[in-house]
Structure 1
């Protein structure tokens, strides 16, 4: 399904879906959403781009190998859990800090680090599967 219209629209649709996936990721620990759903949306965007423009274009766009993204996400999620042990609270407890940057108080948490890790794991794993299926389909 490599029509001219689909190839023309796919980059815009992909960028819009990735932007929406980041929105879902960032609002996830307060409302419905989070790393898993955001990662599925981003992986779907990569799959759409791969169908329209080919696997080589997707691999150039994401820069890193999908399984490397997944491994780094797993590392981030693990670090988010281990941080609580160093703070003498139960494993995977949420830790919050409120730094003031340019006069604005910013709430940072280990929960967000965990969500970003899950996001990267899902994007990497599902993206790797989708790209593998797409490569196998072209043969």
Structure 2
């Protein structure tokens, strides 16, 4: 299914899907969304781009090996849970850091760090599986 229309549209569609996945990631915990579904959307974007343009172009686009991305995400998710130990609280207790930037309150939290970690785990794992399947299909 490598038609000229699909190859032309796939990079734009993939970029739009990755942008939407970041939106879904950042709105998690307050509304439906979060790291898992955002990661699935981003991995789907990688799969679409891989089907249209080939696995080699996807590997060039993501720079890092997908399992390395997944491992770093797992590290981030575990680190978000361990930060509560420094305040003598239970594992995965939420910690908040609030900044005031020109009359705007910006709240950073460990649930956001955890969600970003889950996002990276899902993108890395599902992306690795999708790329392996596409490479196998090409042979």
TM-score (ref. length: structure 2):
0.97
CA deviation after TM superposition for structure 1 residue 104, in Å: 2.9
2: CA distance between counterparts of 1:87 and 1:50? 45
Residue in structure 2 matched with residue 84 of structure 1 by the alignment: 84
Which SS does the other structure have where 1:112 is aligned? helix
Unmatched segments (≥5 aa) in structure 2: none
Residue in structure 2 matched with residue 63 of structure 1 by the alignment: 63
Which SS does the other structure have where 1:32 is aligned? coil
Residue in structure 2 matched with residue 19 of structure 1 by the alignment: 19
Unmatched segments (≥5 aa) in structure 1: none
Residue in structure 2 matched with residue 107 of structure 1 by the alignment: 107
Residue in structure 1 matched with residue 132 of structure 2 by the alignment: 132
Count of residue pairs brought into register by the alignment:
139
CA offsets per residue over residues 64-99 of structure 1, 9 Å max, x none? Answer: 100000000000000000001111111001111102
CA offsets per residue over residues 33-79 of structure 1, 9 Å max, x none? Answer: 10000000000000000000000000011111000000000000000
1: CA distance between counterparts of 2:16 and 2:130? 19
Residue in structure 2 matched with residue 47 of structure 1 by the alignment: 47
- Aligned Cα RMSD in Å? 0.8
